[in-house]
Amino acid sequence: MKSGMLRRVGPAFAAFVLVALGVLVLANGNKKNADASNDGLRATVVAVSPIAAGTSDDQLGSKVEVRMLPTNARAQGAVDSVSDLPEGVFATDLVPGQQLLTSNIVDDVRKSLGNGRVAVSARLDPAQWTGPVATTGAHVNVYAIGGNNAELIATNVIVLDSPDPGSLTPQQEAVVTLGVTDAQVSRVIGAVSGAGVWLVTS
């Protein structure tokens, strides 16, 4: 009687044990894969809007965000947070999607220019440069002022350094440093030394 029951119950019990073992193995495998996936991700600061050369590390604001990226997809020198960046300015332009690297930052605005550009400083009246062009890193067009005329003399010029307009009185002049190309420098210096220049957002 007992042997008959065993013959009837045995196959079903064995099938149950095999299914249970299979579920357990599958669950453990999924857990290991999930753990490996979580362990393989790391916080990485990525640009979400263009960052122009000359932008300082404290002006990033909403231009960046922290994303979780696979460790093997992180570039050498990538940072986990903006606070990990050294103080200074970006040496090159960054486009959305690029990771921020410690090597992107230099400690002097003139070092951010690279080959083919030089720094020119101009003492300007607030009306000649404030507003949308006041931000370091902005790209502007430069007009030479002459009588009642204004002549475009340089395009895509980088604002390397400018004071906070809120700290100036309405008539207070300020020094603004511009990054101009080698081909533009003589005209810009000539205009700065002469009647003056006017900056307009490009």
Model confidence at 21: pLDDT above 80: no
70-101 pLDDT, tens digit per residue, is 999 999 889 999 888 888 878 778 899 999 99
Per the model's pLDDT, the better-predicted residue between 198 and 32 turns out to be 198
Contact 82/60 with Cβ under 8 angstroms? yes
- Decide: helix, strand or coil at residue 8: helix
At residue 30 the predicted structure's pLDDT band, cuts being 50, 70 and 90, is very low
Fold of 41-110: Type Iii Antifreeze Protein Isoform Hplc 12 (3.90.1210)
Residues 38-61: what's their mean pLDDT?
A: 85
pLDDT at 43: 93
Assign 3-state DSSP to the chain and report helix, strand, coil percentages, each to 5: 35, 35, 30
Most confident of 126-135, 141-150, 156-165, 182-191: 182-191
Residues 104/109/114/119 CA torsion (nearest 10 deg): 170
On whether the CB atoms of residues 52 and 139 are closer than 8 A, the answer is: yes
Of 168, 117, 123, nearest in space to 139 by CA: 117
